[in-house]
Amino acid sequence: MSRRAALVAVVWVALLALPSFAVADGDGAPTIRIDLRSHDGYSVRLYEINSTATLKITKRAKVGYAESSTDYLTRATVTGDSLQATFGELGQVSMRFDPSDARPSLRCDESRRSLVRRGLFVGSLRFRGESGYVDIGVRRAAGAVLTPIEGTHCDEGGAEEGRPSSHRPKLTDFYAGFRHGLGSVNFWAETNDRGHVDYEAMAESGGEEMATYRQAFVEASPRTFATDQALSFLSVSPPYPFSGTGLVQRNPNGSRSWSGNLGVSFPGVSDFALTGPEFRTFLTRQW
């Protein structure tokens, strides 16, 4: 997601303030996570944070590393251990927490220690995705309520991967995207230091009652990514969840065009177009 810029201007000293979305009023407030079993070949999770309920529906490829997901976001009402939210015309949830753990546990969650209470969420969750691609009806589901412990910090132990820069191949990056109104579409193709190509697409859409955030990712063979030393063209043909081919060409006037039938399938939307004249493009190679 891109960031918005505050519209304060400084005459002479040009400066745009960039509000941070990382810190929120909800710091220290409990968050809810409900693990729903797979439905119609999709994995489904529901979580609540910062008064927003998010239903995340993910499809993973059976082979290789490829997945696509759609997040449905809507405002939630959280009272004590109960959660209520309506996902527009697609569904609603009304569940309360029944803790089963006699003793809460501690865990490291997003760099803070949290008190975790596990148990069952009981009530009703109904959700029917666009064109019925998924139909969920749940009355009980396992889940947890996580309460961050103020002033604590923990390390999840993530380690940087990599190799000495002198041995790194020159990586090539391509980006195409645009924003208009409440929606934006973004596509990235990037050669990685394993000699493969990472493809990623993201589409977000706002609205009156609900927002959606769609993502897709696949790591693919270098055969799907063709260009030349001068970056005078680029042809990308990523595999599922993508389809078709996107083509970058230099025009005689020096401008660049982005065309083809490249598309992507997100849960709920198939063949979402990723090319067209409204896209801005960047094609670069590291040195």
Partner 1 sequence: MEEARPVEPPALTAPPETEASAAAEASSGAIGTSTIVPDPSAPDTRENGAIFISEGRGRGFGRCSGTSVSSPNLSLVFTAGHCVFDEGHWSARHWVFVPAYRYGERPFGTFAAKWLGTTPGWRNHRNSNFDVGVAVVARNESGERLAAAVGADKVAFDRPPGQLYDVFGYPVRRPFNGTTLRVCSQAPYVGHALDAWLTPGPLQVGVSCEVSPGSSGGGWVVDGDTLDGVTSESYPEDPTTVYGPYFGNAVKRLYDRASRVR
Q: Applying CB under 8 A, which residues contact partner 1? A: 1-17, 19-21, 23-27, 50-52, 73-75, 178-182, 184, 204-208, 211-213, 280
CA nearest 68: which of 248, 284, 268, 210?
A: 268
In degrees rounded to 5, what are phi and psi of residue 165? -60, -30
Q: Under a CB-based contact definition with an 8 Å cutoff, are residues 34 and 143 in contact? A: yes
* Rounded least distance, CB 76 to partner 1, Å: 10
* Rounded least distance, CB 22 to partner 1, Å: 9
Choice between 6 and 106, CB closer to partner 1: 6
* Rounded least distance, CB 30 to partner 1, Å: 13
* Rounded least distance, CB 193 to partner 1, Å: 29
Choice between 18 and 61, CB closer to partner 1: 18
In degrees rounded to 5, what are phi and psi of residue 105? -115, 165
Query: 32: which 2 tokens?
Result: 């809810």
Choice between 7 and 159, CB closer to partner 1: 7
Query: 33: which 2 tokens?
Result: 């996570």
Choice between 1 and 63, CB closer to partner 1: 1
Question: What's the CA gap between 65 and 62, in Å, rounded?
Answer: 8
**CA separation, residue 227 to residues 163, 240, 252 (Å):** 25, 21, 18
AA identity, residue 39 = H
Choice between 13 and 63, CB closer to partner 1: 13
* Rounded least distance, CB 175 to partner 1, Å: 12
